[in-house]
A = this chain, B = another copy of it.
Amino acid sequence: MTVVRAALLGFGTVGQGIYSIAQQRREQLKQRLGGVELVIVKILVRDLRKRSRVLPDRCASDAKLLTDDIEDVFRADVQVIFEATVGEEPAFTYLQRAIVEHGCSVITANKVMFARYGAALQELAASCTPTSSFPATRVYVGFEATVAAGVPIIKTLQNMCHVQQVRKIEGIVNGTSNYILTELREHPEKTFEEVLKKAQELGYAEADPTNDVAGQDAFVKLLVMVAIAFGHQPSRSTIPVTGIDTLTPEMLQDARAKGLRYRHVVSAAMEGAATSSCAPKSSAAEEEEAQSRTRPLHERLTCSVKPMLLGPEHPLYHMDGTTSAVSVWTDYLGVVTISGPGAGMYCTASAMMEDYAVWMEAFRRP
């Protein structure tokens, strides 16, 4: 029987979700993955005294898994790390070391870190040759959970990009902002502050909501998607970021009167994206496109994060509440839209566990 030794970095909501799912789905995963068993052997926390308390009662014996020293994790000879901490560091340093020094796969939900260092981590992993004792033939970097949690947009984009050429992406990727916009539309009598307060009470918004309502959270998710869809990450300073906190009651009233809806949309579009469709291209269009391709990509790609006024024909028009949704326009397909829950303990954690399963399904040693 093959055992895959795993560590969790971070044991907040998402880390605890992974821990639970690993218990709950032990048999299901083993059965689907040729008998390979996932065992969590270390959990890195910041404060050992605080975290011991959160392990479920029945797993009190697992308290010995907890550590506040990353060296303990590496000494435990782990083969995959689930990283669910916040911020660029020390996450990047830890994952970089995991890959380079230990040939370890990494699966992350940390969008801020990944938007900055995703390409670097993927390059490091690609240049790793796994040792023969490693359970898979490839060192893997999984990051489905960095964008829209339970909405499987990352793998869908990766698969599409083998064959399709992406023309445009538009997405609602911040549940808090979408919840607030939905409430403001449905309850015109409420103020932004009242709705924000309700979002906080319901646990949708953080105590400090700036990151969500000013668009920074959506911005880093856009960066992650653009890197896959266009194989290129534009300079951050070229992307205007506007949050929903710029919308006035008059603007919302005006939208209502016109039957339009404000959505907070991250967008990346290639020149001429509006004309693409599922239909085969005319040779004139093909030629024009070929010509435009000689110009560097960053000149042809326009990205933005902002409230957009959408009509009923837009695939994101109907996406209400805390839903996340991403639409992708490609040359062969026209538009494909994926929507679902963009946040939540089990949504995010199960997306990370799916990364593990997809890796093990494809690359486990025979």
Residues of A within 8 A of B (CB): 20-21, 25, 28-29, 32-33, 137, 150-152, 155-156, 159-165, 278-280, 315, 318, 331-341, 344-347, 349-350, 353-354, 357-358, 361-363, 366
Contact = CB atoms under 8 A, between A and B. Distances in A.
12 contacts: A21-B332, A150-B336, A159-B358, A160-B354, A163-B354, A164-B350, A164-B354, A280-B346, A333-B346, A334-B341, A337-B338, A361-B362
Interface centre among A28, A280, A340, A344 (most CB of B within 10 A): A340
A345 B280 contact: yes
Contacts of A160: 152, 354
B332 A350 contact: yes
Contacts of A151: 336
B347 A340 contact: no
A254 B363 CA distance: 54
Contacts of A366: 137
Given A162-B357, A163-B354, A354-B163, A333 B337 contact: no
A137 B160 CA distance: 22
A345 to B, nearest CB: 7
A163 B353 contact: yes
B347 A333 contact: yes
Contacts of A350: 163-164, 332-333
Contacts of A32: 161-162
Contacts of A354: 159-160, 162-164
Nearest to A137: B366
Contacts of A357: 159, 162-163
A338 B341 contact: no
B278 A347 contact: yes
Contacts of A363: 362
Contacts of A338: 336-338
Contacts of A315: 339
A116 to B, nearest CB: 24
B341 A278 contact: yes
Contacts of A332: 21, 150, 346-347, 349-350
Given A152-B159, A357-B162, A278 B344 contact: yes
Contact of A340 (B137, B165, B337, B346): B337
Contact of A28 (B150, B163, B337, B339): B163
Nearest to A144: B159
A32 B164 CA distance: 12
A28 B293 CA distance: 14
Residue of A161, A163, A358 contacting most chain B CB atoms (<10 Å) = A163
Contacts of A336: 150-152, 338-341
A318 B152 CA distance: 21
Contacts of A163: 21, 25, 28-29, 350, 353-354, 357
A17 to B, nearest CB: 8
Contacts of A21: 163, 332
A187 B340 CA distance: 31
Contacts of A344: 278
